């Protein structure tokens, strides 16, 4: 059993890098617990506990071990900037400094070149071969931090860190040995050139060593030496002899910069995390994508260019932006959501529900073991939940109590609401239905809307007015949304109701629409939004065909909580979201098995009323007419019957004969209009309909 201060797991990792027990001991490397890591770093997050790991103390140029260093966690945390994980942690506000090999002072007199590399294990691997070696905390870890102006742009000359200023560089041979992927990274090559320039100015003879790839992934100095075994030292000498003079590379073209930017900042687990789709840039946020405007991304590109030695002008950043769009372009015709790369062995993207902790294939919910996935930028979706998916969540007792308070024993209405909630979880709109909840003030409609918004995710819900849908840019807010909650269904006399009807029919009918966007080009796309209308009274849609009225499932609320409101109810229900989600998912499964929504009996009368309000002609036909293939009626006679019916039913506006004929054909598209001559006069006759009373 080893007497080293590292556990077996960590010892195996260090030995895999070729480090000897003597080196491990000399460098002061040791295993630490999560609690010790917290004390070392000086911070602890509520949502993240530091795991056990390896501590690499910092060694100065005199061989002294001090209190700083780097901690390598066994299970590294996600980078909050969205780029992979953070493999090494240092205490906040730690000054930039090098980590010297434990034998650095004695190795300086060996006559061997000084080796600059990145990472302690690589440094120690060559230190034990007799090379004076320094580990940088990053490829730019050789220089002092520069001042920045108000835009974040660094200015002033680069200067070596204090550790380097203590070394006599005159006539000393220095070899820069970064990882093998440096050959493809302009940023790393730029850093090599800059440190080479500074050390050359200090009197050193600087060369750059290019490591070949060995094994899988990129290769570091320790990997190279282990791969070659006993021949490792000799093979390293060959590379040192072949090292070339360090040079700062010339400026890159915009496309090359965009490629590097994409690889370094917008790639997660091998997948691009930025997409240009239907004239809009989207960035992955850890679970789903969000739209990013040009005014936000170009300054970020300019800042990145300044930090990585690129051309820093706004014009250059704009040109890089255009190249980035080309690199992450997705076909315009693709329907969101979709898999960015590859479909084999992947579920239907429209059936994937993404939560904060995982994603689930909703089509497998009725199987013993539903398919779950990790959130990934390979799935382009703009919709994700703001909470964890838990299929074993506790029963939402307060929610179920609220449902009973609203609808009593009307199980049909409660189940229909849950089915619609489940319907809004997916991108599938093939059932082509929306929901309308009609009820008195303080009846619970607002609470249901807030729960629905929280359940789907606030970023996935929009709240337009019904009148606003007729505006020029009225459809823009519906892009990338799953649900539109309309709490104001009133329509003024100046609103063009025909435009509202046309747009609602097109959206619920899954038709592609040309959508005008303010200060942007128009796009043509199918909107995956569903509507939920909350109203005290039925809205007055103008639709002679009655198609729109039949697109709504109506729920009726009879009870009122006026004077008995619970102001804390929404907060209580928000805590039950994972359990409410279970009921929504059960509703979705039930809906898919049936294939359609059922109109609850409690609100069927409202459905008939809505048809009558939107199309009085259809009610007239039902009351006064007979539909038969061989039936006929003279147009003036039918119009006269219509006028009489309107008078009897208290309708003031009846319209002229032409308007009546238009509405009649919209209601009964199969009737024919023929012309014939009677007593020398031409008259119009409707064929396929007659009045009950000749």
* Among 94, 118, 134, residue at a domain's last position: 94
pLDDT of the residue at 45: 80
Q: Is residue 439 located within the same domain as residue 525? A: yes
pLDDT of the residue at 263: 86
Whether 133 contacts 101, CB under 8 Å? yes
Cα separation, 394 vs 400, in Å, equals 12
Which residue, among 464, 544, 537, 539, has the nearest Cα to 507 in the 3D structure? 464
Whether 274 contacts 262, CB under 8 Å? yes
Q: How confident is the model at residue 690 (pLDDT cuts 50, 70, 90)?
A: very high
Unique residue bearing structure tokens 């201060």:
5
* 348 within a domain of the structure (yes/no): no
Q: List Cβ neighbours of 329 (8 Å cut-off, separation of 6 or more).
A: 276, 277
* Among 37, 70, 94, residue at a domain's last position: 94
Q: Is residue 46 located within the same domain as residue 10? A: yes
Q: How confident is the model at residue 82 (pLDDT cuts 50, 70, 90)?
A: low
Q: Is residue 646 located within the same domain as residue 533? A: no
pLDDT of the residue at 260: 86
Q: Is residue 471 located within the same domain as residue 620? A: no
pLDDT at residue 63 is higher than 70: yes
Cα separation, 428 vs 349, in Å, equals 10
pLDDT of the residue at 522: 86
Which domain covers residue 29, as residue numbers?
A: 1-94
Q: Is residue 410 located within the same domain as residue 545? A: yes
Residue by residue, what is the 3-state secondary structure of 204-253? Answer: CEEEECCCCCCCCCCCCHHHHHHHHHHHHHHHHHHHHHCCEECCCCCCCC
Q: Is residue 491 located within the same domain as residue 576? A: yes
Whether 351 contacts 371, CB under 8 Å? no
* 222 within a domain of the structure (yes/no): no
What are φ and ψ of residue 510, in 5° steps? 65, 35
Mean pLDDT of 328-332: 91
Q: What is the DSSP string of 383-429?
A: ---SS---TTPPP-HHHHHHHHHHHTT-HHHHHHHHHHHHHTTSS--
- Kindly state the tokens that stand for 511: 């038709």
CATH (domain of 434): 3.40.50.300
Cα–Cα distances in angstroms (integers) from residue 61 to residues 58, 64, 99, 110, 165, in the given order:
10, 7, 8, 15, 11
pLDDT at residue 473 is higher than 60: yes
Question: Which residue would you say has higher pLDDT here, 445 or 252?
Answer: 445
pLDDT of the residue at 154: 66
* 665 within a domain of the structure (yes/no): yes
Q: How confident is the model at residue 38 (pLDDT cuts 50, 70, 90)?
A: very high
Q: Is residue 411 located within the same domain as residue 560? A: yes
CATH (domain of 680): 1.10.10.10
Q: Is residue 658 located within the same domain as residue 580? A: no
- Tell me the range of 17-31, 154-168, 331-345, 465-479 where mean pLDDT is highest: 17-31
* 154 within a domain of the structure (yes/no): no
Rounded to the nearest 5 degrees, what angle is found at the Cα of 632, between the Cα atoms of 630 and 636?
A: 170
Q: Is residue 480 located within the same domain as residue 627? A: no
* 313 within a domain of the structure (yes/no): no
Q: Is residue 44 located within the same domain as residue 27? A: yes
* 417 within a domain of the structure (yes/no): yes
Q: Is residue 628 located within the same domain as residue 528? A: no
Q: Is residue 522 located within the same domain as residue 438? A: yes
pLDDT of the residue at 288: 92
* 540 within a domain of the structure (yes/no): yes
- Kindly state the tokens that stand for 523: 């796009």
* 80 within a domain of the structure (yes/no): yes
pLDDT per residue over 568-596, tens digit each?
Answer: 998 999 999 999 999 999 999 999 999 99
Overall number of domains in the chain: 3
């Amino acid at each position: 059993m080893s007497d080293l201060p590292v556990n077996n797991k960590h010892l195996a990792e260090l030995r895999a890098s070729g480090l000897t027990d003597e080196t491990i001991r000399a460098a002061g490397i040791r295993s630490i617990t999560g609690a010790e890591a917290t004390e070392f770093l000086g911070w602890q997050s509520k949502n993240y506990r530091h795991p056990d790991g390896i501590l690499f103390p910092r060694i100065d140029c005199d061989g002294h071990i001090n209190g700083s260093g780097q901690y390598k966690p066994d299970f590294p945390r996600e980078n909050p900037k969205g780029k992979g994980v953070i493999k090494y942690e240092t205490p906040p506000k730690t000054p930039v400094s090098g980590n010297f090999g434990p034998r650095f002072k004695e190795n300086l007199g060996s006559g061997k070149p000084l080796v600059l590399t990145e990472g302690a294990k690589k440094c120690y691997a060559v230190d034990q071969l007799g090379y004076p070696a320094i580990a940088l905390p990053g490829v730019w870890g050789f220089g002092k931090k520069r001042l920045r102006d108000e835009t974040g742009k660094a200015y002033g000359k680069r200067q070596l860190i204090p550790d380097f200023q203590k070394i006599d560089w005159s006539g000393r041979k220095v070899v820069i040995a970064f990882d093998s992927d440096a050959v493809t990274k302009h940023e790393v090559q730029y850093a090599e050139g800059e440190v080479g320039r500074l050390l050359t100015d200090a009197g050193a003879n600087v060369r750059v060593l290019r490591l070949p790839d060995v094994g899988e992934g990129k290769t570091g100095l320790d990997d190279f030496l282990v791969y070659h075994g006993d021949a490792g030292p000799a093979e390293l000498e060959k590379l040192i002899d072949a090292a070339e003079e360090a040079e700062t590379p010339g400026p890159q073209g915009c496309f090359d910069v965009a490629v590097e930017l994409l690889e370094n900042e917008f790639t997660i687990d091998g997948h691009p995390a930025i997409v240009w789709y239907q004239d809009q840039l989207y960035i992955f946020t850890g679970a789903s994508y969000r739209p990013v405007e040009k005014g936000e991304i170009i300054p970020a590109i300019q800042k990145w260019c300044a930090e990585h030695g690129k051309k820093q002008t706004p014009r250059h950043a704009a040109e890089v932006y255009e190249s980035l769009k080309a690199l992450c372009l997705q076909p315009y015709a693709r329907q969101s959501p979709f898999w960015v790369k590859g479909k084999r062995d992947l579920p239907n993207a429209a059936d994937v529900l993404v939560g904060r902790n995982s994603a689930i294939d909703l089509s497998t919910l009725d199987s013993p073991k539903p398919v779950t996935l990790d959130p990934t930028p390979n799935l382009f979706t703009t919709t994700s939940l703001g909470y964890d998916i838990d299929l074993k969540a506790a029963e939402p007792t307060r929610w179920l109590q609220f449902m009973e308070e609203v609808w009593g024993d009307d199980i049909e209405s409660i189940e229909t609401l849950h089915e619609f909630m489940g319907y809004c979880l997916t991108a599938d709109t093939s059932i082509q239905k929306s929901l309308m909840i009609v009820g008195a003030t303080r009846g619970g409609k607002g609470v249901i809307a807030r729960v629905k918004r929280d359940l789907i995710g606030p970023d996935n819900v929009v709240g337009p007015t019904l009148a606003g849908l007729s505006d020029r840019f009225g459809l823009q807010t519906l892009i990338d949304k799953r649900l539109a909650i309309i709490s104001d269904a009133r329509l003024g006399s100046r609103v063009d109701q025909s435009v509202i009807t046309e747009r609602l029919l097109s959206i619920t009918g899954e038709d592609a629409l040309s959508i005008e966007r303010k200060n942007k080009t128009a796009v043509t796309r199918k909107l995956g939004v569903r509507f939920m209308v909350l109203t005290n009274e039925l809205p007055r849609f103008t639709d002679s065909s009655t198609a729109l009225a039949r697109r709504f499932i109506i729920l009726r609320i009879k009870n009122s909580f006026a004077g008995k409101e619970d102001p804390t109810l929404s907060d209580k229900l928000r805590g039950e979201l994972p359990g409410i989600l279970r009921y929504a998912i059960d509703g979705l499964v039930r809906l898919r098995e049936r294939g359609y929504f059922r109109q609850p009996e409690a609100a069927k009368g409202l459905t008939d009323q809505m048809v009558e309000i939107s199309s009085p002609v259809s009610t007239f036909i039902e009351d006064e007419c007979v539909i038969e293939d061989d039936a006929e009626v003279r147009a003036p006679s039918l119009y006269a019957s219509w006028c009489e019916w309107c008078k009897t039913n208290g309708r003031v506006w009846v319209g002229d004969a032409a308007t009546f004929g238009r509405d009649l054909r919209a209601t009964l598209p199969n009737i024919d209009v023929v012309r014939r001559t009677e007593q020398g006069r031409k008259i119009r006759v409707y064929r396929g309909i007659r009045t009950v009373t000749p």
